């Protein structure tokens, strides 16, 4: 096996494990909060801690060596999923917070590591994160909707996956692409020195202020070409996923054709999540085949998807689930493409001296868009559901 192939496989696995718990938690949103609460509540708790980590990381993450980050990922993820499996809502929320912290820290860590392992690692990471969506949502669908495994046990089974992060130490031991020379000199030594020699900034406080200001300037240059289009795509798609798709329902009384495993209305929601993740997996695996430079085009197309989904929920113009399933699948294609090609463009366009910082910093963008969608979805889903009930479609109130 070549070095490039080994790196791809390692990062594929890291991407899958890092994102799978996030996906499983969202897939279980209907089971966690029930039909009476907006599913976007779970999204909010699942994304806010991760966003906080990504937002603050550019100012401190270079001080923390990667081996310590990996240990933190394992502890946070495993404990988090054990708590989520408890099914008590307050305990579940605590577990979701821990899993979210792990997800945010993991994304920053492994995206930054792609700077040292080059394009095979980014292709592997992107494809693996797409695979996480497909594996997580698909496995949850099979376990709970087809095999009828209890929700608590199904969630608990996923708590063992984070131990796969231990393979990082095997990758590190191979010293691929001279990673030891960059990381274990000490993170402080391969990052920029923000202290300055002028008298007014000789104090530690002055150096911290200079570092903060410099970091903000570096972020400003990334905003328009990378951060804004990625944020808008994720805002639109998670508005669909958590704010609209729980109301894209159809009667299960035998009057409409639907897949054989649609026994409850929550099965429709879980299926939408699986189809979305299938689209994400396919497009996130496209980085080695094509490259999309016009990132704003993906934002516009995703906005159109959101408009179509809202119209369907409000007016009930399509009376078959299958076209809606295709719309959700296409939404996943656009979301995955936006993610992988944003970071592909950074790899190709950003100066190597700024690349590690840029890869980590831009990772906050998808979380920011998702966070905004969570707040908006908390208001949108009840409004759509209320309108449906008043129109004689009370399915959103049933489990």
The CATH number linked to 60 is 1.20.1250.20
Q: In a 10 Å sphere around its CB, with 0-12 CB exposed, 13-18 middle and 19+ buried, how is residue 303 labelled?
A: middle
Q: What pLDDT was estimated at residue 180?
A: 40
pLDDT, residue 313, reads 97
With respect to residue 194, please indicate whether it lies within any of the assigned structural domains: no
Asked if residue 313 belongs to a domain, the reply is: yes
What is the full DSSP assignment across 71-122?
HHHHHHHHHHHHHHTT--HHHHHHHHHHHHHHHHHHHHHHHHHHHHHHHHHH
Q: Is 191 inside a domain boundary?
A: no
Residue 59 vs residues 73, 201, 215: alpha-carbon distances, Å: 20, 18, 7
Give the pLDDT confidence score for residue 187 in this predicted structure. 39
Q: What pLDDT was estimated at residue 243?
A: 92
pLDDT at 94: 94
Residue 235 included in any domain = yes
Cβ neighbors of 106 (< 8 A, separation 6 or more) are 14, 18, 69, 73, 165
Polymer length in residues for the chain: 399
- Give the separation between CA 286 and CA 284, rounded to whole angstroms: 5
198 domain residue, yes or no? no
In our burial notation (b when 16+ CB lie closer than 10 A, e otherwise), range 317-326 reads eeeebeebbe
User: Does residue 131 form part of some domain?
Assistant: yes
Which residues lie below 8 Å from residue 202, measured CB to CB, with a gap of 6+? none
**Residue for token digits 């009057």?**
255
The residue segments making up the domain with residue 287 are 3-186+203-397
Within a domain: residue 195? no
CB 312 within 8 A of CB 304: no
- What does the pLDDT read at residue 173? 67
Q: Is 200 exposed, middle or buried (0-12, 13-18, 19+ CB in 10 A)?
A: exposed
Helical H segments across the chain, by residue range: 3-27, 29-33, 40-56, 66-84, 89-141, 151-157, 167-173, 179-183, 204-222, 228-238, 265-284, 295-315, 321-349, 352-362, 364-390
Q: Using the 8-state DSSP alphabet, how is residue 226 labeled?
A: I
Taking alpha carbons only, the member of 29, 27, 272 closest to residue 137 is 27
Which position has the token pair 């095979």? 120
Q: Answer yes or no: is 12 within a domain.
A: yes
Which two three-digit tokens encode residue 226? 């990378």
Say what the pLDDT of residue 199 is: 52
| Rounded Cα distance, 19 and 289, in Å | 23
Residue with structure tokens 């009376």? Answer: 319
> What is the Cα–Cα distance from 335 to 233, expressed in whole angstroms?
6
3-class SS of residue 61? helix
Q: Which regions of the chain are under pLDDT 70?
A: 1-2, 172-205
Q: Give the Å distances, CA to CA, from 380 to 185, 245, 249, 268, 383.
A: 50, 11, 16, 19, 5
Distances (CA, A) of 78 to 6, 163, 171, 292, 332: 26, 8, 22, 36, 27
User: Distance between CA atoms of 223 and 229, rounded to whole angstroms?
Assistant: 9
Farthest CA pair distance, the chain = 79
Task: Domain count for the chain, please give it.
Answer: 1
Residue 196's pLDDT is 45
Q: How many CB atoms lie within 10 A of CB 88?
A: 11
Task: Report d(CA 19, CA 102) in Å as an integer.
Answer: 9
């Amino acid at each position: 096996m070549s070095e490039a192939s080994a790196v791809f496989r390692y990062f594929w696995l890291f991407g899958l494990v890092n994102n799978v718990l996030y996906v499983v938690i969202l897939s279980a949103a209907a089971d966690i909060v029930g039909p009476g609460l907006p599913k976007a509540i779970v999204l909010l708790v699942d994304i806010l801690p991760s966003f906080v980590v990504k937002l603050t990381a550019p100012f401190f993450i270079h001080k923390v060596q990667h081996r310590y980050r990996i240990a933190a990922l394992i502890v946070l993820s495993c404990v988090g999923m054990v708590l989520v499996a408890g099914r008590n809502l307050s305990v579940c929320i605590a577990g979701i917070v821990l899993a979210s912290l792990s997800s945010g820290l993991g994304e920053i860590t492994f995206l930054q590591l792609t700077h040292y392992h080059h394009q095979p690692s980014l292709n592997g990471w992107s494809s693996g994160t797409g695979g996480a969506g497909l594996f997580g949502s698909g496995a949850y669908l099979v376990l709970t909707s087809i095999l009828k495994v209890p929700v608590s046990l199904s969630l608990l089974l996923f708590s063992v996956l984070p131990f796969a992060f231990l393979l990082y130490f095997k990758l590190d031991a191979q010293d691929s692409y001279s990673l030891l020379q960059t990381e274990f000199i000490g993170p402080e030594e391969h990052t920029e020195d923000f202290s300055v020699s002028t008298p007014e900034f000789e104090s530690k406080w002055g150096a911290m202020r200079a570092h903060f200001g410099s970091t903000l300037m570096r972020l400003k240059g990334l905003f328009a070409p990378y951060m804004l289009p990625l944020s808008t795509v994720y805002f639109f798609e998670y508005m669909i996923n958590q704010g609209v798709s729980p109301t894209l329902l159809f009667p299960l009384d035998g009057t409409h054709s639907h897949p054989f495993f649609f026994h409850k209305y929550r099965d429709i929601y879980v299926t939408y999540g699986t189809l979305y993740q299938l689209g994400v997996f396919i497009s996130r695996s496209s980085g080695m085949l094509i490259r999309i430079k016009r990132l704003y085009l993906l934002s516009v197309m995703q906005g159109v998807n959101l408009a179509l989904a809202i119209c369907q929920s409000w007016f009930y113009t399509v009376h078959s689930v299958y076209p809606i399933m295709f719309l959700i699948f296409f939404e996943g294609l656009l979301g995955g493409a936006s993610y992988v090609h944003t970071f592909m463009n950074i790899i190709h366009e950003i100066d190597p001296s700024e690349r590690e910082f840029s890869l980590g910093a831009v990772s906050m963008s998808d979380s920011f868009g998702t966070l905004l969608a969570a707040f908006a979805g908390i208001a949108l889903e009840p409004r759509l559901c209320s309108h449906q009930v008043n129109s004689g479609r009370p399915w959103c109130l049933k489990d």
